Structure 1
Amino acid sequence: MRIIGGTYREQCAFPSHHELTGSGMRAAAALAGSGVEVLLTSAIHQSEQIEADVVAATYGVTANWLMRTRSVSFSYFTPLNAPVISGIGSRLQQDIDESDDVVLAFGMIESGHVKVAGRRVVVDPQRPRNLTEEDLPAVSADEQAWTLNEREVRQLTGIDDVREGAKRLIADRDLSVVVTKRGPRGALVTTAGYQQTVGACVTESVFPIGSGDVYASAFAWAWGNAGADPVEAATIASNAAAQWCETRNYPIPMDVLDGSVTRDVVPPAGSGLVYLAGPFFNLQQRWLVDVVKDALSPGVWSPSHEVGPGGLEVAKKDLEGLEHCDSILALLDDNDPGTLFEAGYATKMGIPVVTYAENLDAEGAKMLIGSGAQHFTDLSTAVYKAQWAAATRAAERAPAEE
């Protein structure tokens, strides 16, 4: 199996993460224990040669290095923030032209010509910004699958409805499979004959940086090498991505890749609405609310954005919004009385409560935690848990509302 993809420096401030990996290296490392020979073709700058060799050897990756004109790095403040990318404008110093029985090709930051061929080829565009035709590799394959996120589907088709967009990709590009990755809402598998949602796997903690890389590698392994059908492969990929999010360990265990070990799944039919409770009275508070709102979208109701600041009249409007939600995410670092009141109100209504604070006031939060609220000190985990709680409650309520 051949993997073509980037080797980039990644750093995140909260939680701390700093390593030379990137999409190609991570995907190859994830499959190092799969029993299939995995060869990585990637690009590095000459200043990274020694470190890249050490990283590849550490993870058991056989790498074919090409040179690029500049080093490339991704810097995140949190995993929920868009990265600051250094090295845009870097170029491959030679073209990539690879073939194998099974090929996984990621989009790369470096400009240059990429051509791949195989019996089954999986393409993951992996573009953090605007995606264009020039970013896609030239592919020759008996069967071809794409794994994309929702933004990429919309950019390539111009269709807002990702279900219809995925169908358009199948028809217009003669693809066998399109897998639309939807983060905490799982994935949508589309073929010429059907569409099926695969629910996200539940984890105790969530580190989402790189989860899409692991997802694509596990899907390529299961669909390309193991002969799994697209839904089975997407299910294995979801479990593999969950393993990475929870442990950040390589390689993915074989019992996960072969489907022997699976996790609980969030109901794929449940979407749910998360109420975002938190103070927004100064710059840092408003910044955090905005970051979390973007991460929760589109399934979020934020009083900061829906109602805004005001006088006593906002209380009724905020609580009316809360009553239509399926979970609440309460930002508690500032011990805001309004946020605590909203969380208590949700508890009384039977709405699941998820709280986030790096430094929780244990005495102040005693009633919330003691009445079943889930508390997390990691922001990404809190966001995912709130979405999963909303999806579960929405799915449980759906039959009664039909």
Structure 2
Amino acid sequence: MQGPCEGGSVTRSLTIVGGFYREICRFPPSDEYWGSGGRAAAAIKELAISTKLVTAAESLAQPFLAAISQTVGFSFQSTPIPTTVVFRYDHGLSTPIISPPIHELERVHLKGCGDCVLQFGMLEADVDVTAKIIIYDPQNPLSPKHFHSTVRPDRLAYVLNATEAKRLGNNNDLMKAIAKVVKDSEADVIVIKRGPRGALIWQNEQITTIPAYQVENVWPIGSGDVFAAVFAAKWGIDGINAVDAARSASRATSDYVQTRSLPISREVIDEESALPIAQISDKHFEADTFDVYLAGPFFNMAQLWLIDEARAALAGMGLRVFSPYHDIGIGTALEVAPKDISALKKSRVVFAILDGVDPGTVFEVGFARAEQKPVIAFAQCTPEEPLKMVAGTGCEVVADFVSAIYKTAWAVWQ
């Protein structure tokens, strides 16, 4: 097999350097081999680009990599490693358990080169990249590192999430962090992925907002990989401006999170989406108000675990959450109920956990609807009949946890 840096250049060719990992999710259940590199290579099949994946894979993973490569139509260069890195998620917004532990991984050395390279950060490899055009996604929210190469590319783009940008920029103010990243990296373009809020593009001293699209179902695992791949194809290969490239990437990502289908069709990437644009309002409210009131039972370990997960997921969206368990605590009816009602009145949207049809939660939902507040009701395993009054009074009942979180965020921002 041809080495990663051998041979002449190919017209419209993209080299992707990234991991090939096993990804396991409990809810909804999924067990697949993808990783950033594999998913990115698969995403752009229909864009008529000669794509090569430079990665590392153990012998047990090689058949999966070969099958995806053959089906999708990209070539690959794989360096042997002792074991496949596995990401285990409870749900799509949970922090994955990584095995083997990162400190036990035996790192290998990879080289990637070509006219245009998309480089993802890798847990199991150190990478040297040489190219005229480089798109760099560190894929490390805890400890991201700047792009490094002995040869300066002609064009360099960073694709980051907000946490990575703040850590690289050493500032919790995102705009100030971006300015620091620009100064330190000398990048031509900085892309900030913001999930349900879309993206921000820094280019030529200007910031442009790229919209997200509202979808009914959200599968977030790998969404950033799809965004980076399509952005690299449009900005790096097609040479279109960064703003338009990011709009194409946003359309592709919205399609992916709703369908989980790869590759992304050319029509989705290149044409205006029929999906509604997420309307994001940055209105400022009083300090004692809340974006979300978290309603749900917390009388046993399973219930309290779900309350914690919902609170963390909503806060991770940048929302100010009021949780009766965390913000009031356990008490008598006369101690707790008035405080709950006061917080409900001060909250914009209610996220209600309705499995088990807890009477207190149902009361909170009814009170919220009487106050004309939007209610997103998460009910994974409750039949339709007990929820008739909930659904019939304008609440949106959602069976998927992550989709319910996203819908809540969009309801707050409208």
TM-score norm. by structure 2 comes to 0.89
Contact 1:12 1:75 in 2 (8 A): yes
1:294 maps to: 312
**Alignment size in residue pairs:** 388
* C-alpha distance after superposition, 1:210-257 (max 9, x if no partner): 111111111111221223322222222111111111111111010122
My pick for the range that moved more, 238-247 or 69-78, is: 69-78
Work out which of the residue numbers 363, 366, 383 in structure 1 matches 2:385: 363
Work out which of the residue numbers 9, 12, 36 in structure 1 matches 2:49: 36
Contact 2:147 2:185 in 1 (8 A): no
My pick for the range that moved more, 269-278 or 19-28, is: 269-278
2:328 matches 1:307: yes
Contact 1:255 1:261 in 2 (8 A): no
Secondary structure at the aligned position of 1:141 is classed as coil
1:281 maps to: 299
2:113 maps to: 99
1:177 maps to: 189
- For the residues of structure 2 that align with 1:116 and 1:212, how far apart are their CA atoms? 21
- For the residues of structure 2 that align with 1:136 and 1:283, how far apart are their CA atoms? 44
Secondary structure at the aligned position of 1:33 is classed as helix
- For the residues of structure 2 that align with 1:151 and 1:369, how far apart are their CA atoms? 36
Deviation, 1:322, is 2.2
1:225 maps to: 237
Q: Which runs of 5+ in 1 are unaligned?
A: 393-402
* 1:333-344 alignment, distance < 5 Å: 333-344=355-366
2:30 maps to: 17
Deviation, 1:49, is 2.0
Work out which of the residue numbers 67, 81, 91 in structure 2 matches 1:78: 91
Contact 2:354 2:378 in 1 (8 A): yes
Residue identity over aligned pairs, in percent, reads 37
Cα distance change of structure 1 residues 319 and 26 upon mapping to structure 2, 3 Å threshold: same
- For the residues of structure 2 that align with 1:59 and 1:274, how far apart are their CA atoms? 42
* C-alpha distance after superposition, 1:371-395 (max 9, x if no partner): 1211111111111111111111xxx
Contact 1:5 1:42 in 2 (8 A): yes
List, as ranges, runs of 4+ consecutive aligned residues in structure 1 with deviation greater than 6 Å.
Answer: none
Cα distance change of structure 1 residues 310 and 165 upon mapping to structure 2, 3 Å threshold: same
TM-score norm. by structure 1 comes to 0.91
- For the residues of structure 2 that align with 1:215 and 1:73, how far apart are their CA atoms? 22
Deviation, 1:361, is 4.2
- For the residues of structure 2 that align with 1:132 and 1:354, how far apart are their CA atoms? 35
Cα distance change of structure 1 residues 47 and 137 upon mapping to structure 2, 3 Å threshold: farther
Residue identity opposite 1:280 in structure 2: F
2:220 maps to: 208
- For the residues of structure 1 that align with 2:274 and 2:388, how far apart are their CA atoms? 34
Residue identity opposite 2:105 in structure 1: S
Contact 1:256 1:262 in 2 (8 A): no
My pick for the range that moved more, 311-320 or 365-374, is: 311-320
Deviation, 1:17, is 0.9
2:10 maps to: none
2:46 matches 1:46: no
* C-alpha distance after superposition, 1:60-98 (max 9, x if no partner): 2321112223321111111121111113333344x3222
Cα distance change of structure 1 residues 362 and 160 upon mapping to structure 2, 3 Å threshold: same
- For the residues of structure 1 that align with 2:282 and 2:166, how far apart are their CA atoms? 22
Deviation, 1:132, is 4.4
2:341 maps to: 319
Q: Which runs of 5+ in 2 are unaligned?
A: 1-13, 284-289
- For the residues of structure 2 that align with 1:47 and 1:40, how far apart are their CA atoms? 18
* C-alpha distance after superposition, 1:329-355 (max 9, x if no partner): 110002111211111122122221111
Residue identity opposite 1:290 in structure 2: D
* 1:55-74 alignment, distance < 5 Å: 55-74=68-87
Let me know the Cα RMSD of the aligned residues: 1.9
- For the residues of structure 1 that align with 2:143 and 2:359, how far apart are their CA atoms? 44
Secondary structure at the aligned position of 2:91 is classed as coil
1:187 maps to: 199
Deviation, 1:136, is 4.7
- For the residues of structure 2 that align with 1:140 and 1:310, how far apart are their CA atoms? 62
Contact 2:169 2:176 in 1 (8 A): no
- For the residues of structure 2 that align with 1:301 and 1:190, how far apart are their CA atoms? 34
* C-alpha distance after superposition, 1:16-60 (max 9, x if no partner): 111111000000000011111111111101332223212221232
